[in-house]
Structure 1
Amino acid sequence: MPLVTALIAGLVFGLGLLISGMANPAKVLGFLDLAGAWDPSLAFVMGGAIAVGLPAFTLAARRRNALLTGEPMHLPTATRIDWRLMGGSLLFGIGWGLAGFCPGPAIVALGMGLDQALVFVLAMLGGMVVFEILERRA
């Protein structure tokens, strides 16, 4: 059951990215171009995600087990803002601004056959490998 639930959630997420146009890096870069032809549609997508996610996470925080699967809830517990969080956020933002992709839309765009998505996903995987190597050394 958890695999079916994850599959359905992933399909809904991917479909939402396609319908909203967020799998198109030009749309995202248009949002980030404040001095040019600014496209505010990403702000509406983010607002919609917050409107759906906030009540869902509030409800989830009160539960011990997941509603559909009965599995134990594993919600984040970290609340500290440190240099690792700030550095990771900075790297994420730089990558997002340069490529117009973040991980979810990049996977969707990869499935659409976009060449730049392949480059982004390979770079993302490379970054994950470098992170793991550095973490094991630390």
Structure 2
Amino acid sequence: MIYFITLLCGLLFGFGLALSEMTNPAVVIGFLDIFGNWNPSLIIVMAAAVAVSMIGYLISKKQIKPLLTDLWSLPTAKIIDSKLILGSALFGIGWGLSGYCPGPGLTTLTNNPAEGLYFVIALIAGSALYQFQPTK
């Protein structure tokens, strides 16, 4: 059942991205171009996503355990360190240069396969590089 719910959530997420045109890098780059032809639609999409996430989080706080598994899997880190700042900066730079973040970027494999292949290869390479980070 958990796999079906996970698939359903992924499909709903993808549908929302497609419906809001967040799979179109021109829309994302238009949002980031505040001194040019600015497109503020991403603010509405982000606000809706944050609102839905907050509601889900508040509901989860009132439950003793999740519905489909035994334990909660929630982040516990509360510190802002150099890894977080560097990772966030790299994500933002990549997003700003390409107009893709990981979710919408995967849709390029069907929308624009030549460009999508480059994005997915870079996504996998970046994820693999995480394994080689220095440890303390």
TM-score (norm 2): 0.92
Which residue of structure 1 aligns with residue 72 of structure 2?
Answer: 73
Q: CA deviation at 1:9?
A: 0.3
The answer on 1:118 being equivalent to 2:117 is yes
CA distance in 1, matches of 2:83, 2:105: 23
Aligned match of 2:128: 129
Q: 2:63 corresponds to which residue?
A: 63
Cα RMSD between the aligned structures?
A: 1.5
Q: CA deviation at 1:119?
A: 1.0
In structure 1, C-alpha distance between the alignment counterparts of 2:44 and 2:123, rounded to whole Å: 26
In structure 1, how many angstroms separate the alpha carbons of the residues matched to 2:88 and 2:78? Answer: 15
What is the match of residue 14 of structure 1?
14
Unaligned runs of 5+ in 1: none
Corresponding residue number in structure 1 for 2:26? 26
Q: How does 1:84-95 map to 2 (within 5 A)?
A: 84-95=83-94
Cα distance in 2 for partners of 1:73, 1:62 equals 12
Answering whether residue 46 of structure 2 is matched by residue 46 of structure 1, we say yes
Deviations, residues 59-116 of structure 1 (Å, cap 9, x unaligned): 223434222x133111111110000000000000000000000001111222334422
Identity over the aligned pairs, expressed in percent? 42
| Paired residue secondary structure (2:133) | helix
